[in-house]
Amino acid sequence: MRSFPDIEFNLGDYVETLVNFLDNALEGLFDLIFFISSRTINGIEDVLNFLPWWLFIIFIILLGWYFRSIWSGLLYGSFIFLIGAFGLWDEMMMTISIVLSAVLICLILGIPLGVWMAFSKGFSTVMRPILDAMQTMPSFVYLIPAIFFFGLGNVSAIFATLIYALPPVIRLTELAIRGVDPEVIESAQSFGSSRWQMLKKVQLPQALPTIMAGVNQTTMMALAMVVIASMVGAQGLGEQVLISINRIDIALGFEAGISIVFLAIIIDRVTNGVADRFQKHRRAK
């Protein structure tokens, strides 16, 4: 059996050189990202912790009632109450803060990039293999540059989550804009609409339900990263799962794990409810 020829091509060395170069050349940018991300997380966490526990549960019930049904709202409220009863209230708030911060940054970056891809074939051609790599690369690999650029902590968790959760909202935004009925676009053009007017008043409203599906997927993928992100020092429910693994603590592992499941169910149902509302509103028009 012939072995592979003795050829050495150390691509990883070139990547390491590139990362070192970026760390030195863009140090100011990374410091700015660290500052904004940490302030965002701390701000959201402060707001959530300022609310009394009962008021937060009432808010979740009303949210579920508005977007789903009264029974769904009561179920979601009971989920949040159970997490608090497990003694994981503060960890839940930190997890929500990290997820919301990551999703907010994903939307700020992802929706404009998706629109740009929809309008530019060349940019779309360049971005697609990058998005493929972001989605298929093992999640643990993202932790290495995250630690290198930002050290251990919640900011590294956001950076790693951002790479993992960004592609869905970009792809679905592009798909939604491209999928707008050509007749609607032609009708808007015949009335002399500019590109910006067409995007703002025709394409984005028509594409909103699909974009909301992208928001849902991005949010769920961000939540899926909380356990992995705990390996770079992220706090919250994921950290409790990691602690339970190290201690072989079945009780803690189950409680932290089921708490993440509860949050996932609530976020999934509410974001789907938002998309359904937009869809019904559009049909009503």
User: Can you give the CATH number for the domain in which 264 is found?
Assistant: 1.10.3720.10
Which tens digit of pLDDT belongs to each residue from 11-33?
Answer: 777 777 877 887 787 778 778 88
Range of the domain at 126: 11-50+86-284
How many domains does the structure of the chain reveal? 1
Average pLDDT, the chain: 84
pTM for this prediction: 0.84
Interatomic CA distance for residues 225 and 140, integer angstroms: 10
Residue 21 CB coordination number (10 Å): 10
Q: Is there a domain that residue 263 lies in?
A: yes
Q: Is there a domain that residue 56 lies in?
A: no
Q: Is there a domain that residue 58 lies in?
A: no
Which tens digit of pLDDT belongs to each residue from 105-128?
Answer: 889 999 999 999 988 889 999 999
- Is the pLDDT confidence value at 237 over 70? yes
Q: Answer for the pair 260, 241: CB distance below 8 angstroms, yes or no.
A: yes
Token couple for 6: 């003795």
Q: Is there a domain that residue 205 lies in?
A: yes
Phi, psi of 2 (to 5 degrees): -80, 135
